[in-house]
Amino acid sequence: MKRTTPIDTIMIHCTATPPRREVSVAELNRWHEAARFEPYVDPKTGIKTYAGYHLLVHLDGSYERIRPDDQRGQHCPQSNMNNRAVSICYVGGVDNNNKPCDTRTEAQKRTLLTLVRTMRGRYPKAQIVGHRDYAPKACPSFDAKKEYSAI
């Protein structure tokens, strides 16, 4: 579904998976379909994408586009964020006991920084926040607001 408000937020998430455990878009699709997230339907192919983020950053620092920016995500219902925010998710975010933990690899940190800068260039007035700034959660297991405050 298309957004009905301009993007004013860049929101960082994690997959809440342990160190060295990769997550594919296909797997995210299964999780988010099971959670009954509203899918993005590709107008050309009719293919439904349930994964709710816009971008996914893998352990090796590569990333995948999941939803176009002009489409609503499904990642934070609070404060109308699905309509307002573009979302970037990194793979990881908990330790081996499922406790919140900043597990980002150096490659993920570099890619996240590049993507946040790119988004900030595209949406100069957008605030940069973590999911936890809008919901009672630990996600993304680091202080995104602070880390990206100079961008």
| Interacting residues with Zn ion (CB under 5 A) | 13, 131, 139
The least distance separating Zn ion from the CB of residue 30, rounded to whole angstroms, comes to: 17
Three-state DSSP string of 64-104: EECCCCCECCCCCCHHHHHHHEEEEEECCEECCCCCECCCC
Nearer to Zn ion, 126 or 129 (CB): 129
Using DSSP bridges, classify how beta strands 40-41 and 63-65 pair: parallel, antiparallel or unpaired. Answer: unpaired
Nearer to Zn ion, 36 or 44 (CB): 36
- Identify whether the C-beta of residue 49 lies closer than 8 Å to the C-beta of residue 125: no
CA–CA gap between residue 49 and residue 66 (Å, rounded): 8
Nearer to Zn ion, 39 or 140 (CB): 140
Using DSSP bridges, classify how beta strands 9-14 and 48-49 pair: parallel, antiparallel or unpaired. Answer: unpaired
Nearer to Zn ion, 91 or 124 (CB): 91
